[in-house]
């Protein structure tokens, strides 16, 4: 999510994550969680390896000390949300060699108002200021509406302890002791990828459950591990955690992808986390150095740039905001092909079949919307009626009111199984056959108790 590495070869992969001789061995990561209507909660994780640091003799043994500075500044107002300095002190055991020396880790949490921030984290050896490391990031604290389900950032960890936890530990959270892994680096000696995330706003539609898809993708975007589960709407927020054994996977960078899907609309919110694995014991089969072979062999491998853009415009109604932002940043044809391949893959309800039944059904709705609602060179999927059709399917009942006294034409669509019964009212406000949504009883849609006033044909 935050440390993105383009892998050209194994040399460049590990050169990018191993510190240079003048760099302090200091690793840093963060994760953002929900707090309230005006602020988010952000946790910072860091890990210091005292190797190569200058040691000072003390009565308790050799002492190393690092000075750390953390600054988080709002990029719009230039106001500092965080400005903190502290020291990390550690006694190095006499029997610890440089190769076995233990790292020192910690976690800190802050409430931060919504906004876009520049982050600077600097750490240096107090006895040798040239041994230092500076990390610069851009951090976005977003507020999500209470009527939108979503997932926090994914925190990856070295371990998650459920029994015998120390409640006073800085790593204690939601009845668990979670030791983060800010290096985002795993090896054959430590192959267990633990992860933690929080799922929010789950009780949007009582009686319906969510689907959570967990995918592990290699650097080519190929899925190498997949697990699905049903999330019951018994609580408005739940914790998702687990572990993946990476010992069988080859050296590469990987992305853990959590997709929370509303089965009634197939809208999804996706949260991802990039990490790295060094595992010379595993052999990578069918390595792809360019675009994922699965993409090239699919229908998306034949798409033109215009076709990619059109398809995502048609699918935008079921995309999360993060997916919309991600697609807008793609600047190559192959990147857009691969994005669309993965976009539909995570929404495939029956991955064991060669067809993606959900995608086929959705594209049938697109064709139907274009056939029924295209007006004056505006394609049907772009209209209000087209959007509702794409999201919820054909209504169970339609009532037409083409010529009520003193009223412009309007239609009422009824969905009997949607939130126990919901309706949508579309009116021809302009008088040119362009029906616009004026009111709905569906949660999250336009609601206007005085919608009839907009449809009166004369001024009263």
Query: What domains are defined for the chain?
Result: 1-143 (2.60.40.10), 144-282 (2.60.40.3880), 293-347 (no CATH), 395-455 (no CATH)
3-class SS letters over the chain: CCCCCCCCCHHHHHHHHCCCCCECCEEEEEEEEECCCCEEEEEEEEEECCCCCCCECCCCCCEEEEEEEEEEEECCCCCEEEEEEEEEEEECCCCCCCCCCCCEEEEEEEEEECEEEEEEEEEEECCEEEEEEEEEEEEEECCCCCCCCEECCCEEEEEEECCCCCCCCCCEECCEEEEECCCCEEECCECEEEEEEEEECCCCCCCCCEEEEEEEECCCCCEEEEEEEEECCCCCCEEEEEEEECCCCCCEEEEEEEEEEECCCCEEEEEEEEEEECCCCCCCCCCCCCCCHHHHCCHHHHCCHHHHHHHHHHHHHHCCHHHHHHHHHCCCHHHHHHHHHHHHHCCCCCCCCCCCHHHHHHHHHHHHHHHHHCECCECHHHCHHHHHHHHHCCCCEEEEECCCCCECCEEEEEECCCCCCEEEEEECCCCCCCCEEEEECCCCCCCCCCHHHHHECCCC
Alpha-carbon span 229 to 226, nearest angstrom: 10
Pairing between β-strand 267-277 and β-strand 185-186 as defined by DSSP bridges: parallel
- First and final C-alpha spacing in the chain: 56
Backbone angles phi, psi at 322, to 5 degrees: -65, -35
Mean pLDDT by 10 residues, the chain (460 residues): 39 42 82 93 94 89 93 96 94 63 86 96 93 93 85 96 92 95 93 96 77 90 88 85 92 93 85 92 55 75 90 93 87 89 87 85 94 89 96 94 88 92 93 90 90 77
The predicted structure's pLDDT at residue 3: 41
The predicted structure's pLDDT at residue 460: 45
Alpha-carbon span 319 to 26, nearest angstrom: 37
Among 349, 32, 342, 319, which Cα is nearest to 215's? 342
The predicted structure's pLDDT at residue 77: 96
Alpha-carbon span 349 to 263, nearest angstrom: 9
The predicted structure's pLDDT at residue 306: 92
The predicted structure's pLDDT at residue 18: 44
């Amino acid at each position: 999510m935050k440390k993105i590495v383009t892998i050209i070869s194994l040399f460049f992969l590990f050169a990018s994550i191993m510190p240079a001789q003048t760099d302090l061995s200091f690793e840093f990561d963060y994760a953002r969680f929900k707090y309230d209507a005006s602020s988010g909660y952000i946790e910072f994780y860091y890990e210091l390896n005292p190797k190569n640091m200058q040691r000072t003799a003390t009565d308790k043994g050799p002492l190393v000390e690092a000075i750390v500075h953390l600054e988080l500044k709002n990029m719009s107002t230039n106001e500092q949300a965080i400005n903190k300095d502290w020291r990390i002190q550690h006694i190095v055991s006499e029997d610890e060699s440089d190769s076995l020396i233990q790292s020192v880790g910690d976690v800190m949490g802050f409430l931060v108002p919504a906004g876009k921030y520049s982050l600077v984290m600097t750490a240096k050896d107090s006895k040798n200021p040239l041994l230092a490391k500076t990390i610069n990031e851009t951090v976005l604290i977003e507020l999500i509406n209470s009527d939108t389900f979503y997932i926090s950032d994914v925190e990856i960890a070295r371990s998650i302890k459920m029994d015998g936890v120390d409640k006073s530990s800085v790593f204690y959270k939601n009845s668990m002791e979670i030791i983060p892994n800010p290096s985002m680096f795993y090896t054959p000696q430590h192959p267990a990828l633990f992860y933690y995330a929080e799922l929010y706003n789950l009780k949007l539609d009582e009686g319906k459950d969510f689907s959570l898809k967990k995918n592990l993708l290699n650097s080519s975007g190929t899925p190498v591990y997949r697990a699905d589960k049903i999330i019951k709407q018994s609580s408005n927020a739940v914790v998702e955690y687990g572990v993946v054994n990476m010992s069988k996977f080859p050296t590469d960078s990987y992305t853990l992808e959590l997709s929370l899907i509303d089965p009634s609309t197939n809208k999804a919110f996706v949260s991802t986390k990039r990490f790295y694995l060094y595992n010379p014991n595993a052999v990578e089969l069918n390595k792809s150095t360019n675009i994922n072979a699965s993409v090239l062999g699919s229908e998306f491998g034949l798409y033109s740039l215009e076709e990619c853009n059109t398809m995502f415009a048609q699918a935008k109604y079921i995309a999360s905001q993060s997916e919309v932002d991600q697609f807008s940043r793609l600047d190559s044809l192959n990147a857009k092909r691969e994005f669309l391949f993965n976009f539909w893959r995570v929404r495939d309800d029956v991955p064991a079949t060669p067809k993606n039944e959900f995608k086929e059904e959705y594209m049938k709705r697109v064709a139907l919307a274009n056939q029924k609602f295209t007006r004056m060179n505006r394609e049907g999927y772009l209209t209000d009626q087209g959007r509702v059709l794409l999201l919820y399917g054909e209504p169970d009942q339609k009532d037409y009111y083409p010529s009520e006294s003193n009223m412009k034409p309007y239609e009422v669509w009824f969905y009997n199984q949607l939130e126990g019964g919901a309706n949508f009212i579309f009116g021809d406000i302009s008088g040119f056959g362009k029906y616009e949504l004026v009111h709905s009883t569906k949660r999250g849609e336009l609601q206007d108790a005085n919608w009839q006033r907009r449809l009166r044909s004369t001024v009263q």
